[in-house]
Amino acid sequence: MVKRHHVLALICYLLIPVVVIAGARVHQLIDPEMARGHANYTRDYRLLELTRSGLLMASWALSAVLWFTCSYLVLKSRQRSRHWTWLAVFGPPGFAVIAALKDRSPAPGDLYQQLIGKLRAYWRVPIEIALLVAVLVLTYNFVVLKRDLMICYESFMTGTPVATIIDQQNTMSGMYAAAEGMEQLYLMTLVYLLWPIVFNLAGRLFTSRSRDAHVRGTSS
């Protein structure tokens, strides 16, 4: 069973790229040169420039609010002190620590919290480290797979050889590396948010099948 606050945290997190992309799109759409031909060109140009810059900064600020709200809601769903929210300043690594905190009031059907709640510290720490490494590997390989698929798609749509596209990207490797790094960081937190949900769904499915198999075995 997933708590309402955890679901709200997931929604807040999924809204972050929507807000950022929308802000960047509006920033591109507002061209200060639209003021050309107006009597007060200089004033209108500055107003348009301030408007689009303000909207872009507002989207960044809203995404930051959503990020901290997401972290706070995860803490609230686990009945933890809101003072842990300061870890969100460190981004996904800080969120990994928040996600590792035990739920002080787990839901009756929360198999994940029931499992980790029984573990001692000398087991929890290695498991959380192993989980972090697994998340890093998973998200990195996903980003690499996505890059390869996008290259193949661009090659198919434009007829440009794959090698040529790769050479073009290599000339801007710094920009692509930064973008892929941001994608991986985003996916890291998303995996941490989805992991308890996926674990509980898989646990329920396994339990249900085991129960059905036991019933069939008993009846036969």
pLDDT (tens digit, 9 = 90+) per residue, 2-46?
A: 788 999 999 999 999 999 999 999 988 888 877 777 777 888 888
Q: Say what the pLDDT of residue 70 is.
A: 96
Domain ranges of the chain: 4-219
Q: What percent of the chain has pLDDT over 90?
A: 43
The per-residue pLDDT of the chain, averaged, comes to 86
pLDDT by residue (tens digit) across 55-98? 999 999 999 999 999 999 999 998 999 899 999 999 999 999 99
pLDDT value at position 213?
Answer: 63
Distance CA 88, CA 36 (A): 44
b/e 108-124 (16+ beta carbons within 10 angstroms → b):
eebbbbeebeeeeeeee
Q: Say whether pLDDT at 163 is over 90.
A: no
Give the 3-state secondary structure of the chain. CCCHHHHHHHHHHHHHHHHHHHHHHHHHHCCHHHHCCCCCHHHHHHHHHHHHHHHHHHHHHHHHHHHHHHHHHHHHHCCCCHHHHHHHHHCHHHHHHHHHCCCCCCCCCCHHHHHHHCCCHHHHHHHHHHHHHHHHHHHHHHHHHHHHHHHHHHHHHHCCCHHHHHHHHHCCHHHHHHHHHHHHHHHHHHHHHHHHHHHHHHHHHHHHHHHHHHHHHHHC
Q: Taking the complete model, does pTM exceed 0.85, yes or no? A: no
Q: What's the pLDDT tens digit per position in 146-157?
A: 988 998 988 888
The mean pLDDT value for 114-127 works out to: 82
139's CB contacts (< 8 A; 6+ apart) are: 184, 187, 188, 191
Q: Could you tell me the end-to-end alpha-carbon distance of the chain, in angstroms, rounded to an integer?
A: 33
